[in-house]
Amino acid sequence: MIRPGTPNDAPTLTALARAAKASWGYPDAWLRAWEPELTITAEYIQRHTVFVAESEGCVVGMISIEDGVDGPEIGHLWVDPASQRAGWGRRLLDTAIRHATSNHWTALRILSDPNAVPFYTRFGAVHVADVPAPVAGVDRSLPLLRLSIGG
């Protein structure tokens, strides 16, 4: 089931985001550096559109849509490592696309983790730029994707 997020979900979603990011094998120093952006607060949930995926009463994923400078963007999309490859990411992104369609948006921007690019491109997202994103003294960039909505 996918439902709207509530402020009470914040601690669970934070743990989910951190576990999902760690599952990609990043160095501990990087994970520590990313803790602030992987912290989902009650205020964040109140300020943005958040959907939560549940299976048998347990949170298994989440997606958020933020009001970006250049239009709506996916802020977070995380699936619990134990629930990955079970269709939850697809269901969450489908939910975000339906939300975008109902709001008459023409696209969603996605500043993607490099590991997630193949997932988004399966939905038709295209690479539009690389954004510098150094971490723990290492030069790094993140792919910026655009997912067209509708026609």
CATH of residue 101: 3.40.630.30
Partnered with residue 61 across adjacent β-strands are 53, 79
CA distance 53 to 60: 6
Predicted structure pTM score: 0.93
Domain, as residue range, for 29:
2-105
Domain presence at residue 90: yes
Structural domain count of the chain: 1
Tens digits of pLDDT across the chain (151 residues): 999 999 999 999 999 999 999 999 999 999 999 999 999 999 999 999 999 999 999 999 999 999 988 889 999 999 999 998 899 999 999 999 999 999 999 999 999 999 999 999 999 999 999 999 988 888 999 999 999 997 5
> With contact defined as beta carbons under 8 Å apart, do 75 and 64 qualify?
yes
> With contact defined as beta carbons under 8 Å apart, do 113 and 142 qualify?
yes
Domain presence at residue 144: no
CA distance 53 to 141: 29
pLDDT for residue 77: 97
> With contact defined as beta carbons under 8 Å apart, do 35 and 44 qualify?
no
